[in-house]
Structure 1
Amino acid sequence: MKDTLTNSQLKALDEWLFNWQHIDKKIAIRKLELQTDTNAEVDDNIGGGKANHISRVTETVIARWDCDQTLKGLENFKAAVIETLDVLDSELTAIFYLRWGTGSINTWEEIGDKHHLSRKSIYRKRERILEIFSQKIGM
């Protein structure tokens, strides 16, 4: 038996997908925050000469990126959306971008009008897209 999503879950997923518009920017900002985090690095050299350890700035930054849960969450969200888009047919992909694409402010009724679909049909397609996305995120 297939579990269906509740209306509140559908609404939450719908709102969450609006982050898709800015996901690359959020990932870049988080990486920059981790790269320039001045509080994470403690100066081991207390003076009096050279430090006796090799500085590996690049490796340190990559290690921070790998360990950061916020960054992993953003990247997992992006991967789930891409996997969802790979599964959708052309009509559902077009609907996805009309709703959650960059600069989109379309309501479901407006999307239905553009695709000549009834209110009931567009909401069924919405539910299908959100069910696929929920499977990709492991819900």
Structure 2
Amino acid sequence: INEKCQDPCPGSCGQSAVCRVTNHSPICTCPEGFIGDAFTACYPKPPEPVQPVVQDDFCNCAPNAVCRDNVCVCLPDYYGDGYTVCRPECVRNSDCALNKACIRNKCKNPCVPGTCGEGAICDVLNHAVVCSCPPGTTGS
């Protein structure tokens, strides 16, 4: 400006605009999230209008529940009142009796054939399989 090195940005852009210099000229733009004429003023972009949600579930059921004849019912293999909770039988071993384990959301005996060696005794202690040899025998 007037053959002197000066920043051309001050006073060049509108309110809330961003100025950057390209080839010695001020370039004004509105920042992200703003709209308007960058040489006059930038304004916050208004939020997108919220589309109304079409609600097929007039029962207002819990997750994993369905509305049947205006009554919330838990899906098969889920348990609860249908309105506040519908959960599987178990999600962790502690949801089951000590002699069962949570296997695919069901409390089951983890001693299935092949769990222990041939002829071994399979017991469940605190949800875990314990294999042992019958009295008078040894092995692994």
What TM-score results when the alignment is normalised by the length of structure 1? 0.23
Asked which structure has the greater CA Rg, the reply is: 2
Using CA pairs under 8 Å that are at least 6 residues apart, name the structure with larger relative contact order, 1 or 2.
1
Structure with higher strand content: 2
Which one has the bigger helix percentage?
Answer: 1
